[in-house]
Amino acid sequence: MDRTQHWNAVYAGREEGQASWFEAAPELSLRLLAAAGLGGETAVVDIGGGEARLVDALLARGVRRLTVLDISGEALRRAQARLGKAAAEAVSWIEADVAGAWRLPPVDLWHDRAVFHFLTRPEERAAYRGHLLETLQPGGGAVIATFALEGPERCSGLPVARYSPATLAQELGPELRLVEALEHVHHTPTGAAQAFQYSRFIRLG
């Protein structure tokens, strides 16, 4: 089973609230995006947004230039159905592997909660970094959350790479300057505790 098939099967096999990554309200993401300059005219891409509720929260705040990218068409369809036809049509949707082939006009903010840590091969991380530098315009902000060093070693049946803010910054390279980092413990619907780190970067010119 390839990665696309894997994630379509994961989404098809459980309800939204049963997923380990489920958040009813993405409060920490919103806080960091606001610190990065989020506004009504800000162009935002949510990497691996799937059926996460960040897009709902951004639409509710009047953000009008939104793109959600996810490898799983099943996840995107479920998000669109939840939003309803009118709201879903206000969002751009990209069904693609973040480490694969895709393009997007420059954005002001890049958000990724729990995608980068699934990229365990160097070539995948290099492809991610290439898309990040191509898509995020100079002065723009990136909010990237991964499992922390003490976080899980596997998630949804796949191995993950774990990071501190410093090791994530090193992996992303000198074009991204780390400006803020927060620790966070996410509690899954089954009550398990998962250690995350959220890092906010500025794209240098």
Domain CATH for 81: 3.40.50.150
- Look up residue 134 and give its two tokens: 């191509």
Residue 144 domain boundaries: 3-203
Q: Which DSSP helix (H) or strand (E) runs through 104?
A: none
What is residue 21's predicted lDDT score, i.e. its pLDDT? 79
What is residue 17's predicted lDDT score, i.e. its pLDDT? 75
Number of domains the chain contains:
1
Do the Cβ atoms of 143 and 200 come closer than 8 Å? yes
| Residues 5-47: tens digit of each pLDDT | 999 898 887 777 777 878 989 999 999 999 999 999 999 999 9
| Residues 160-172: tens digit of each pLDDT | 999 999 999 999 9
Report the predicted TM-score, pTM, of the whole model to 2 decimal places: 0.96
What is residue 49's predicted lDDT score, i.e. its pLDDT? 95
What is residue 190's predicted lDDT score, i.e. its pLDDT? 87
Three-state SS at 125: helix
Share of the chain above pLDDT 70, in %: 100
Q: For the residues 135-159, what does the mean pLDDT come to?
A: 96
* Sheet strands (E) in 5-75: 43-47, 65-70
| Residues 53-67: tens digit of each pLDDT | 999 999 999 999 999
Do the Cβ atoms of 67 and 44 come closer than 8 Å? yes
| Residues 91-117: tens digit of each pLDDT | 999 999 999 999 999 999 999 999 999
What is residue 46's predicted lDDT score, i.e. its pLDDT? 98
Q: Which DSSP helix (H) or strand (E) runs through 134?
A: helix 122-135
For residue 163, which phi and psi values (nearest 5 degrees)? -140, 155
- pLDDT-derived band at 1 (thresholds 50, 70, 90) equals low
Evaluated on CA atoms 147, 149, 153, 159, the torsion sign reads: positive
Query: What is the identity of the amino acid at 155?
Result: C
Q: How confident is the prediction for the chain on average, in pLDDT?
A: 95
CA neighbor of 115 nearest in space, from 135, 129, 102: 129
Residue 78 has pLDDT above 80, yes or no: yes
Q: For the residues 133-150, what does the mean pLDDT come to?
A: 98
Three-state SS at 172: helix
